[in-house]
A and B are shown apart, each in its own frame.
Chain A
Amino acid sequence: MAELDATLAALADPTRRKVIDLLRQGPRPAGELAQAVQMSAPALSRHLRVLRAGGLVHAETGGTDARLRLYTLRPEPFAALQAWLDQVQAFWAEQLGSFKEHVERTQEDTS
């Protein structure tokens, strides 16, 4: 539950969603990400910190320069999010299924 909250909180920001989209294509260093979202490295690092804290991305800590860290997506939180979205859909599918049954019942009564 806490993990899902962190995932949703991290995804609530458009810059962070853009970073996620970029990382779908493969791992990237922070500097390239900053360039791609047209943001200074320090400004983006705030967002990257949120993504790391939420467990959505993993940073390879090689050198001392943070911009050279290689960022990679972690699949686990997305699997959890998908499971949750599936439940939202299941809720509506059940409601619509019940709606259909009601319509069919109503039609039988009137025909």
Chain B
Amino acid sequence: MNAVQASVTVPVDPATAFRIFTDEIDSWYVRGRHSWVDPDRAVGIRFQDGYLRELWSDGGHVDTGKIIMWEPPRRLVWADLINETGQMEIEVAFSPVDGGTEVVLEHRGLDTLPPDVAGRIRRGYSWNIVLRWYADQWER
């Protein structure tokens, strides 16, 4: 229960997959009221200056992740900055397979959140999103 994984295979070589994942994240990242730290102001997302950054309409931004490994075309790791005292990391690995590249994403450290998690947990994008989904589940 420490980590979750998701994966997909894309019909390009690892270098291209890595480039599209990073340089073009703004073109594929799924928008939704739950996908942003600040949905009212968010207009874009970008890997920039060593951070995964959410851009705002007023010119401001929030860094949601700090890049800790940038190894094109093989892998990319960023540390979650939303829940500062937890130690969550997201690793994305690109492996060549028949017909393209397998992209495996692992979100780990889900059990490292501090005991006073209640106040903090709702601030993060993924936490924010999933907790609302989680709450919705009880309303159905």
Contacts and interface: CB of A to CB of B under 8 A. Distances in A.
B129 interface: yes
A31 to B, nearest CB: 26
Given A8-B117, A92-B6, A96-B6, A103 B12 contact: yes
A1 B135 contact: yes
Nearest to A92: B6
A17 B2 CA distance: 11
Given A99-B28, A107-B11, A88 B126 contact: yes
Contacts of A82: 1
**Chain A interface, >50% SS class:** helix
Interface residues of B, number: 40
B117 A106 contact: no
A103 B27 CA distance: 10
Given A12-B117, A98-B30, A88 B1 contact: no
A66 interface: no
B15 interface: no
Interface extent on A, as a size class? 35 or more
Nearest to B133: A87
Contacts of A61: none
Interface of B: 1, 4-12, 16-17, 20-21, 24, 27-30, 103, 105, 107, 110-118, 121, 126, 129-131, 133-135, 137
22 contacts: A5-B121, A9-B117, A12-B114, A12-B115, A82-B1, A84-B134, A87-B129, A87-B130, A90-B133, A91-B126, A91-B130, A92-B6, A95-B30, A98-B28, A99-B21, A99-B103, A102-B20, A102-B27, A102-B28, A103-B10, A106-B24, A107-B12
